[in-house]
Every structure is written in C-alpha cells, then in structure tokens.
Amino acid sequence: MLHLINKSPFERNALDSCLRMARPGSAILLIEDGVYAALAKAAHAEKIISRMDDFSFYVLGHDVAARGLNDAPLIEGIDVVDYEGFVDLVAEHDVTQSWL
Amino acid sequence: MSEMNEFDENGPEVIKRFMYVNRKAPYGTIYALECLEVVLVAAAFDQDVSVVFLDDGVCQLKKNQDTTGIGMKNFSKTYGALDDYDVEKIYVEKESLAARGLTEDDLVIPVEVLAADDLREVMAQQDVIISS
Amino acid sequence: MAYECNGVTIETDEEGYITDISLWSRELAIRIAEEENIEMDDDHWEVVNFLRNYYEEYQIAPAVRVLTKAIKKTLGVEKGNSKYLYELFPYGPAKQACKIAGLPKPTGCI
C-alpha cells in the first residue's frame, strides 16, 4: 500500500495516524505541507527515523523546493522523487491511501 | 479604487493596534497568501500594524523558496515589500523556529525573534487581532 | 477586453490589465498607452521599468504611495513625488503605469 501525507505534522495528526495504522512494508510519500515531516532537525524527526525499518519513505522534491527546504537537511533515508517518481509509486502499489 | 491615500493629509483620528497572526505554512492552503494581501491593503490605513509568525507560520519566511515545480507564485518575495508599506513590527516566535530546526538566518527578512513569554505580552497590548 | 499587438490578441480583465504577464512586450506597452492617451517618452519608460523591476523583486505591483516612496529612494525627490507622477500618468501612476507595465492592479489600492 502507498500512503500519501499532505498535511504538516505540526498542525495535524495525519502522519501519526498513518504510522500507527499502516502495515510494515508500506510506502509513505510526503507531499505538499506533509514535506515538513522530512526536516531532519525538527522536533518530530524521531517519529520517522524510528520507523525507517518498517516503511520506505519518499518526499516530493517539487514541494520541498517550493518551501525553501532544499538547503535544509532532510532525514537520511527518505528518497526524493519528482512527479514521474510519484506516478511510478502509484503504479507500483495496488492501493493508495490519502491521509487527508 | 482611490489612487491617493486619503489619510496622508490629516491622519486617522484614532490609531488602533492591529496584529496579524500567521499560523499556517505557505502553498498547502491559501491562508498565508490571503493574510499577506490583507496586511498590505490594511497598511494604507495608517494604523499601528504588527505581523506575527508562529507555529507553521514561520515556514512562510523560509529562504530559498522555489515554486517553479508547483506552478504557484513565490510570494515569499513579497515579505520584502512590507518595509515599503511601513509594516515594520514583525515578530517570530522563538519556540516555533526551534521546533522546526530553523534559525533567524533561515528567514527572508529581518525580524524580531521573541520567546512565547514576551510575545504573549505584545499580544496582550493589541486592540484587534486577526488570525489565520 | 483585449489588445491587438503584432497580429496577436492579448486578453485583459474587465479593467484592462493583461491577464498573462508573460505576454508583455515594449510594443504592447505602447499599444496599451495609446489606449490610455499616453505617448510613451523616456520618463514614462523609467516609471514603467521601475514598476517591472519592483514586481520582479517583490512579486507585487506597489500601491501608489509605496511606488512614490520607492521612486524617491532610488531616483530622487524630483521624481518621487505625486505631482511628477500624476503629470506622466494623469489617471493615476499606479493604475495607468501598472497597466502599461503589464502588471496586475496594485496591491493595497482600495
């Protein structure tokens, strides 16, 4: 399953719920305001770092650049994808769940 | 549309303290851009205006935004015009920056970074607070 | 509403501001100015170019008092005053000059 997170982890609990409900082995793609979850120096970074073995994490590069985070360290092990990579992820997984 | 600023000659009779509080990240929702436009329009009324960035609002001021990939206007450049609009009191909450691993050097404009304890006091002095 | 320029039709909003700022050209500026009964000379171009630079830097068209102040800061007080700017653009420097510069309606212009 592919999980999409488009809400800031500071404002909503979408990421928390996703991390609690998703089966290990799932892919989690951070888009739009969800990309703030990828900030390595942020207070909540441990949430993702501690689940690196359970999930493969991706972040949409265009949304990272738009928010000026290209120069900010992102959590190591999160793969940056472009729109093609987004489409590939959707195609690779039978089901996509959006955590709106 | 009035071209001249009617208030330049004599000034408004009562000056009130208006504070605009930004708590949302840019682009994901329309709040940040809308609030910025409201501030620029309201700046014509010669009131005592201050702008606060806290929670995800601090992300609006992050340097190096490049929106070409998402097809939206990079309005982080517009904060640089606040000074021309005589909006000079710009506060950023220290704790919000720290929670996101950001520092004052990461921001597009000079701001006054205040701890929550100090910002609370500035907020308490306002006549009108508009939050988004 | 629309302008014809070099055989191309350029759309505007109901107030005559072009809707796609990337379609602006000097020729188009002259066309819009004609419509406003303005003959572009060096002084007009100076203000139009100033506005375009301002937009490039800050992504907004400044309100008239902001424009006046900014021009005063860079070009001096003999140009950064309402009288001078209204002589160049009688129906309002922000309104007419922004339109000619291909920018949106000024921000903070009520």
**CA distance to partner chain B, nearest, from residue C63 (Å):** 8
pLDDT band at C1 (very low <50, low <70, confident <90, very high): confident
CA distance A38 to A48: 8
Phi (first) and psi of residue C96, to 5 degrees = -75, -45
Domain count, chain B: 1
> Mean pLDDT throughout B107-117?
98
**Residue ranges of the domains in chain C?**
2-100
Q: What is the CATH number of the domain that holds B124?
A: 3.40.1260.10
Bridge partners of B113, per DSSP, are: B92
Residue of A6, A8, A100 for testing the chain B interface, max B β-carbons within 10 Å? A8
Q: Give pLDDT, residue B3.
A: 47
Answer whether A touches B (≥3 Cβ pairs < 8 Å). Answer: yes
**Is B115 inside any structural domain?**
yes
The percent of residues above 90 in pLDDT, for chain B, comes to 84
Active-site residue, C98 included: no
A56 near B CB under 8 A = no
> Mean pLDDT throughout B7-11?
57
Q: Estimate to the nearest angstrom the gap between the alpha carbon of B4 and the chain centroid.
A: 24
What tokens appear for B74 in the block? 């990079």
- Judge: A71–B65 Cβ closer than 8 Å, yes or no: no
C23, C40, C60, C109: the catalytic one is C109
Q: How confident is the model over A19-72, as pLDDT tens digits?
A: 999 999 999 999 999 999 999 999 989 999 999 999 999 999 999 999 999 999
- The domain made up of C2-100 has a fold known as Arc Repressor Mutant, subunit A (1.10.10)
Which residue of C59, C91, C93 is in closest CB contact with B78? C59
Domain range enclosing A45: 2-98
**CA distance to partner chain B, nearest, from residue A51 (Å):** 19
Domain range enclosing B103: 17-131
Domain count, chain A: 1
CA distance C95 to B10: 24
pLDDT band at C110 (very low <50, low <70, confident <90, very high): low
Answer whether A touches C (≥3 Cβ pairs < 8 Å). Answer: no
SS3 C73: helix
**Is B8 inside any structural domain?**
no
A 10 A CB-CB count for A23 gives 9
Sign of CA dihedral A26, A28, A29, A32: positive
CA distance B120 to B118: 5
Residue of B84, B85, B88 for testing the chain C interface, max C β-carbons within 10 Å? B84
**Is B113 inside any structural domain?**
yes
**CA distance to partner chain C, nearest, from residue B64 (Å):** 14
Q: Which uninterrupted H or E stretch holds A81?
A: strand A79-81
Show which residues on chain B lie within 8 Å of chain C, measured between beta carbons: 1-5, 8, 37, 40-41, 43-44, 73-75, 77-78, 80-81, 84-85
CA distance C58 to B13: 32
Select the more confidently predicted residue: C95 or B125: B125
**Is B118 inside any structural domain?**
yes
Side-by-side strand order, sheet with B48-53: B112-114, B89-93, B48-53, B17-22, B128-131
Q: Which uninterrupted H or E stretch holds C72?
A: helix C64-75
**CA distance to partner chain B, nearest, from residue A16 (Å):** 17
Residues 11-50 of A with CB under 8 A from B: 11, 32-33, 36, 39-43, 45
The mean predicted confidence, pLDDT, of chain B is 92
